[in-house]
Chains A and B, each alone.
Chain A
């Protein structure tokens, strides 16, 4: 029998694996999945586009499987929750495949998602199912992964085709880029090397970045790639978090020695963190209870639609994990962080507000007054200072002679004293309900609010004529 080493020497080997320090995998995981969580929450505002009885899927035959408004919103909430847990290194073997399935469903389910980077993320998540995110080794020890290499190969393929797509006279003469760039970066380019030069430099850079999957190229490509995508951030193009996500992915390209140096430097911090973890572990059931209760409080305070329902399901899962006594403190804190992320993003952005505004607007245009009323009622509760919400709700209520609509119009008038529309709506309703004097007064108030509004002026003239005719 031949020795094992001889076997290895004779047998041809397809060496695709990448050995990287565990610190690189952990840091990249935290950043990339945290960005994905933020992106998932940001997408919730677009949920009202989905459903409404019409869909075209990304792939033929899948139209009926596309998500509806509710399904899309809940799917993104689950994704955001799962991504935070993955970022914390919790249950990655289960959560990454779950996130990949939901993400791919949401993306391929409808052409309404036209972000190319969401297609990239859908592909990367499939590959990410095979990355050993939770390998328990010291941070300076290597972790071997073929899937991480495949993720970088995927990026290389994206750059290759992106460069090929720019071999086009309309790109190379700078007109395509010039048509899409605005703001300070545009001024800077125009004042220096010119749009044409940048249009040539972009595909050349992309061609260089094709080699991103090859380790020897990392020392050069890490900084080139990060600068390239920071430049895209600077353009201010409406591409969501694409450029930031790409920068996050470059954390896997930053040379290993950087991570090893940081791990070495942070040894005292890690020692303290280990002590803290041990202290928390001694009080793990208190930490667990506090995290569960605080998590529920976050979910109650979160205004994103469906947040409380998903939080209850998540809490049940966390309680089940707690009963199995597996990494109790980590799971509980990750759960709390996920729900706190929902709350923080909800309260610092206009996502919930936009959701109801877009839902109300589309339902109104599509002649679904019941849905529009529900949406605007939510919006006016959520944003009592939104004159438009009160105006639209008022009009919808008055359309079926619910006089509380007048209160909504009055609220709108108080909040927006510079526009006539709420006065006009009030005057029109009053005029059709035999309250001509009140209608004239409302119309005149409209003209006072917005003297140049032709509709308000005409309404005053018409109503006064009717009033005199009596």
Chain B
């Protein structure tokens, strides 16, 4: 207890404690509570197997495919192709804004390093905004 009191005895020490705790615990979020296995930000998962996932984001407007590269900068497409849900959802939300009252279907088809495949979405993202 005395050690803990010393640890938190000054603003400097409190800053250190909060910083270290935050950095130690933040990556846990990826392992414990995440809905997107592809989003490895803040988890220090450099060169991970998940980094090698290859996804194809597809959006259709009234059944016709949307060319994402002509709607958004190519870099966003590349991030979506890494399977990041939050980006795919934001692209969908933006498309819904640009084409109001339309049905825009979003689908993310991913192939993992071990060869397994999985598809996310496949429904109108304007009414269900999350994959």
Contacts and interface: CB of A to CB of B under 8 A. Distances in A.
Interface of A: 11-14, 16, 46, 48-49, 52, 54, 56, 58, 63, 111-112, 114, 116, 119, 123, 127, 146, 150, 153-154, 157-158, 160-162, 164-166, 168, 170-171, 175-177, 179-180, 237, 362, 365-367
Q: How extensive is the interface on chain B, given as a class?
A: 35 or more
A179 B6 contact: no
B8 to A, nearest CB: 9
Contact of B7 (A14, A46, A63, A153): A14
A13 B73 contact: no
B62 interface: no
A171 B49 contact: yes
A56 B82 CA distance: 15
Interface string B2-15: 11011101001100
A46 B43 CA distance: 24
A193 to B, nearest CB: 18
Given A150-B16, A153-B20, A168 B49 contact: yes
Given A116-B45, A150-B20, A157-B23, 13 more contacts: A46-B75, A48-B73, A49-B75, A54-B94, A114-B79, A116-B41, A154-B19, A157-B44, A161-B43, A168-B49, A170-B114, A171-B48, A362-B74
A117 to B, nearest CB: 8
Given A146-B12, A176-B52, A162 B79 contact: no
A61 to B, nearest CB: 12
Contacts of B75: 46, 49, 112
Interface of B: 2-3, 5-7, 9, 12-13, 16, 19-20, 23-24, 27, 40-49, 51-52, 69-76, 79, 82, 84, 86-87, 90-91, 94, 113-114
15 contacts: A11-B6, A12-B5, A54-B94, A56-B76, A111-B41, A111-B86, A112-B75, A114-B82, A116-B45, A146-B16, A161-B43, A162-B44, A366-B70, A366-B71, A366-B72
A16 B13 contact: yes
A158 B42 CA distance: 10
Secondary structure call for the B interface: helix
Contacts of A48: 73
Contacts of B51: 176, 180
B84 A176 contact: no
A61 B41 CA distance: 17
Secondary structure call for the A interface: helix
Contacts of B113: 170, 175-176, 179
Nearest to A364: B70
B16 A162 contact: no
A54 B73 contact: yes
A170 B51 CA distance: 12
Given A12-B3, A111-B87, A161 B44 contact: yes
Contacts of A49: 73, 75
A58 B69 contact: no
A176 B6 contact: no
Contacts of B5: 12
Contacts of B2: 12
Contacts of B42: 119
Contact of B69 (A11, A166, A171, A365): A365
B59 to A, nearest CB: 14
B24 to A, nearest CB: 6
B3 A150 contact: no
Nearest to A127: B19
